[in-house]
Homo-oligomer: A and B are copies of this chain.
Amino acid sequence: MELVNTDVAYKFIREKILTGVYLAGSPLATKNLSKEIGVSRTPVRDALRLLEADGLVTIKPRIGASVKSMDLQEFKDLCGLRQALETYAAGLAAQNRTDSELAEIRDALEAMRVIVEKMIKAADDRELLVDLAREDVRFHLAIINVAKNELIKKEIMRLSLINRVVSVPPTGKKQREDLNTRRKVLDSHQEIYEAIAKKDVAAAKDAMDRHQQNNLEKVIQLMGIKEQTKFHSELGLAAAN
């Protein structure tokens, strides 16, 4: 793989968006970016087109590019798309899994359980949250990998990134409630795992479908409180189910 300036610009801008340096709605002027990155406007424009394809950037003719921002309906649609894909993947996983693949899913599940139990005891769970999110991703990724559909995998990962950028800000308070939702998430994962273990396709789909539905409703509820119609992330992990 040759490394061209377009890639440099792409990675640069993408990183800034994903780490929240460029917030949703922020304009992305090619001139500024080219100066900041140290390449000309041409590869910057190329990079912006790539990011538009990723769903992270919006480009309007004669107006320019900006970091993607969505309204509530778009966000719901996004979650629906993800729900469709993860549900389908869960079904495939239940159908095709080998024992070793199942073990990986179980390991991720157990790692999450350990962390949640640590959380119950710990006063401050901020650093545990990062671990939890990582294992959560690992669980879902393990299932997607077993589904063995590269296109679906790519699509889900793309959606995950958009979710991370254009998402609900972290609650901050109400730790007790969060702990409760975490237990529910764990139960959902357990259900999904068991269905896959039993190679019960319908049950796996059903469990994943409900898991995704619950997650959407939880996030919507959190957003409803704020009465926001447009929103962006503060790199919260709330939507990283």
Contact = CB atoms under 8 A, between A and B. Distances in A.
Interface of A: 1-2, 4, 6-7, 42, 45-46, 49-50, 52-53, 61-62, 74, 77-78, 80-81, 83-85, 87-89, 92, 149-152, 155
B87 A152 contact: no
Q: State the main secondary structure of chain A at its contact with B.
A: helix
A127 B36 CA distance: 59
A152 B61 contact: no
B77 A149 contact: yes
A61 B50 CA distance: 14
Contacts of A2: 61-62
Given A4-B61, A80-B92, 5 more contacts: A2-B61, A46-B49, A74-B150, A80-B152, A84-B85
Q: What are the 3 closest A-B residue pairs judged by CB atoms, nearest first?
A: A53-B53, A84-B88, A77-B151
A181 to B, nearest CB: 24
Copies in the complex: 2
Nearest to A42: B42
B149 A81 contact: yes
A77 B155 CA distance: 11
Contact of A74 (B7, B151, B155): B151
16 contacts: A2-B61, A4-B61, A6-B61, A45-B46, A46-B49, A50-B53, A74-B150, A80-B152, A81-B85, A81-B151, A81-B152, A83-B88, A84-B87, A84-B89, A84-B152, A88-B88
Nearest to A82: B151
A47 to B, nearest CB: 10
A119 B150 CA distance: 39
A6 B49 CA distance: 12
Contact of A49 (B50, B62, B151): B50
A146 to B, nearest CB: 13
A60 B4 CA distance: 11
Contact of A80 (B7, B46, B151): B151
Contacts of A42: 42
A22 to B, nearest CB: 20
Nearest to A148: B77
A218 to B, nearest CB: 19
Contacts of A52: 53
